[in-house]
Amino acid sequence: MKKNEKAVITIIGQDHPGILAGAATQVAEVNGNVLSVSQAVMEGIFTMTMIIDIAGMTVPLDSLEEKVAAAVPDMKVKVMHENIFNAMHTI
């Protein structure tokens, strides 16, 4: 991965303890660096987005997605390069 590249992890599902910790542990294990986290729980539904620096990451994004998904079962997990969000939402 190149310098300053970022990816976005989103986790959506039923709230329960340990979701953020589970995801963050997986990111750390592959040498990703968490830059910011925002989360909300509305009517029991947990929504989290985590922006991570992937410049030094040791595995590709799809492998990280599998790891995080395994760490927080029953949650919808998606890991995507930030470019897709920038392309869609900025002019």
Partner 1 sequence: MLNIQDIIETVQMIQEENLDIRTITMGISLIDCADSDVDQSCRKVYDKITRRAEHLVATGETLEKKYGIPIVNKRISVTPISILAGVSGGDPVKYAKALDRAAAATGVNFIGGFSALVHRGFSAGDRELIEAIPEALAETEIVCSSVNVGSTKTGINMDAVRLMGEKVRKAAELTQDRQCIGDAKLVVFCNAVEDNPFMAGAFHGIGNADCCLSAGVSGPGVVRAVLADMPDDAPLDQVAEEIKKTAFKITRVGQLVGREAADLLGVPFGIVDLSLAPTPAIGDSVAHILEEIGLEKTGAHGTTCALAMLNDAVKKGGLMASSSVGGLSGAFIPVTEDEGMISAARAGTLSIEKLEAMTAVCSVGLDMIVIPGDTTAEVISAIIADEAAIGMINSKTTAVRVIPAIGLKEGEELDFGGLLGSGPVMKVRPQSPAKMIHRGGRIPAPIQSLKN
Take residue 52 and report the two structure tokens written for it.
Answer: 């991570």
CB 26 within 8 A of CB 65: no
Residue of 19, 57, 61, 75 interacting with partner 1 (CB under 8 A): 61
Per-position x/- string for 29-58, each x denoting binding to partner 1 as judged by CB under 8 A, each - no binding: ---------x-x------x-x-x-------
3-state secondary structure of 1: coil
Least distance in angstroms from the C-beta of 31 to partner 1: 18
CB 45 within 8 A of CB 15: yes
Longest dimension (CA), the chain: 39
Least distance in angstroms from the C-beta of 56 to partner 1: 17
Cβ neighbours of 23 (radius 10 Å): 26
Residue of 21, 41, 45, 80 interacting with partner 1 (CB under 8 A): 80
Residues that bind partner 1 (CB under 8 A): 8, 10, 12, 38, 40, 47, 49, 51, 60-62, 65, 76, 78-89, 91
